[in-house]
């Protein structure tokens, strides 16, 4: 669902960039003030896992693929404010380093996947905090439903932006986008429920020791090295709809990205080139997330 450059026109890009900056700014303030902070390494490991999960395109009907958005999963594991920061960081790394999603459209992608997606999970997380009697399986299933809903809401936001930019009529694009993303959302829901069940804190204080970092980080490395070369090569839902409705932009000169297309050009073997590029993305996301999270932790008074 990453919107490329040249797909949005007019004031949509600057407006969504302003909304994204405002949303991230609010998230920084909220993350600073909240008492329920994830550990620095935990935050970085979950951000790295979201990056890896978004590399794994899975096939759906009619030659189309989808991938994890991860907003609800991030909110369930990190809380709303830190989830917004993790998702925004992942989207920035994808755009700047891998050429995935346009630079001018980065604000729109943050709005759709970081703000809208996380908000869906954050609302559910708040509701679940008042239901301590629910089992892990019940909570996981609810997060799965929220994952499906987040995909539908994000795709609806894309429709609003496309229609506002004049790329395609609202009535034309909405049915097509919601139809294909209803199927993609099923994959999102299953992945979200399974990942939450595996990674959720097991103690009342949310402390699960080294497992809190080792499990998501090792999963991210395994996904990028072993599974990402097997990802579906079909166009994702937005690309497929854009091609069918004839508003897919013609590829041209764009912002130079060192690992464009998730390929390490120095490596001749394509699967290995994809795996190594993905691993670089995981480690870069982890390192940047550490730098982002450290200033948001409480200062210890000696």
The fraction of the chain above a pLDDT of 70, given in percent, is: 94
Q: Is 61 left (phi over 0), alpha (psi -120 to 50) or beta?
A: beta
| Confidence bin at 299 (pLDDT 50/70/90) | low
pLDDT at 233: 87
| Confidence bin at 204 (pLDDT 50/70/90) | very low
Contact status, residue 250 vs residue 5, Cβ threshold 8 Å: no
- The yes/no answer on whether domain 12-249+260-296 falls in CATH 1.10.1760.20 is yes
The answer to whether residue 208 scores a pLDDT higher than 60 is no
What average pLDDT does this structure show over 200-225?
78
The answer to whether residue 289 scores a pLDDT higher than 50 is yes
Contact status, residue 7 vs residue 241, Cβ threshold 8 Å: no
Q: Is 59 helix (H, G, I), strand (E, B) or coil?
A: strand
Helices (H), 6-112: 12-33, 40-55, 71-78, 80-98, 106-109
The answer to whether residue 163 scores a pLDDT higher than 80 is yes
The whole-chain average pLDDT of the chain stands at: 91
* Helix 40-55 / helix 270-293 crossing angle, nearest 10 deg: 150
What average pLDDT does this structure show over 271-290?
95
pLDDT at 202: 61
Average the pLDDT over each of 53-67, 166-180, 241-255 and give the range with the smallest value. 241-255
What average pLDDT does this structure show over 229-249?
91
Between CA 45 and CA 286, with CA 124 as vertex, the angle to 5 degrees is 10
Q: Is 66 helix (H, G, I), strand (E, B) or coil?
A: strand
Average the pLDDT over each of 116-130, 175-189, 192-206, 278-292 and give the range with the smallest value. 192-206
pLDDT at 268: 79
The answer to whether residue 207 scores a pLDDT higher than 90 is no
* pTM of the predicted structure, to 2 decimals: 0.93
pLDDT at 250: 72
**pLDDT, tens only, 80-106:** 999 999 999 999 999 999 999 889 999
**pLDDT, tens only, 32-70:** 999 889 999 999 999 999 999 999 999 998 889 999 999
């Amino acid at each position: 669902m990453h919107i490329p450059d040249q797909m949005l026109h007019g004031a949509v890009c600057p407006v969504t960039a302003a909304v994204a900056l405002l949303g991230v700014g609010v998230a920084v303030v909220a993350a600073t003030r909240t008492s329920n902070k994830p550990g620095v390494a935990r935050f970085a490991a979950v951000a790295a896992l979201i990056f890896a999960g978004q590399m794994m395109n899975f096939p759906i009907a009619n030659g189309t693929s989808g991938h994890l958005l991860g907003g609800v999963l991030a909110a369930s594991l990190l809380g709303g404010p830190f989830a917004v920061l993790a998702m925004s960081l992942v989207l920035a790394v994808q755009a700047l380093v891998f050429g995935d999603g346009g630079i001018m459209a980065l604000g729109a992608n943050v709005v759709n996947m970081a703000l809208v997606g996380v908000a869906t999970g954050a609302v559910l997380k708040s509701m679940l905090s008042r239901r301590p009697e629910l089992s892990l399986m019940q909570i996981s299933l609810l997060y799965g439903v929220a994952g499906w809903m987040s995909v539908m809401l994000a795709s609806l936001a894309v429709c609003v932006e496309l229609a506002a930019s004049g790329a395609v009529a609202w009535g034309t694009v909405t049915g097509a986008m919601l139809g294909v993303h209803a199927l993609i959302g099923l994959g999102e829901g299953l992945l979200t429920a399974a990942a939450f069940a595996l990674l959720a804190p097991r103690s009342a204080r949310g402390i699960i020791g080294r497992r809190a970092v080792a499990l998501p980080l090792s999963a991210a490395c395994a996904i990028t090295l072993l599974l990402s070369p097997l990802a579906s090569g079909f166009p994702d839902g937005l690309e497929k709809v854009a091609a069918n409705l004839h508003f897919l932009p013609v590829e041209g000169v764009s912002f130079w990205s060192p690992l464009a297309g998730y390929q390490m050009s120095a490596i001749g073997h394509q699967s290995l080139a994809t795996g190594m590029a993905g691993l670089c993305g995981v480690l870069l996301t982890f390192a940047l997330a550490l730098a982002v999270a450290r200033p948001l932790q409480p200062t210890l008074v000696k």
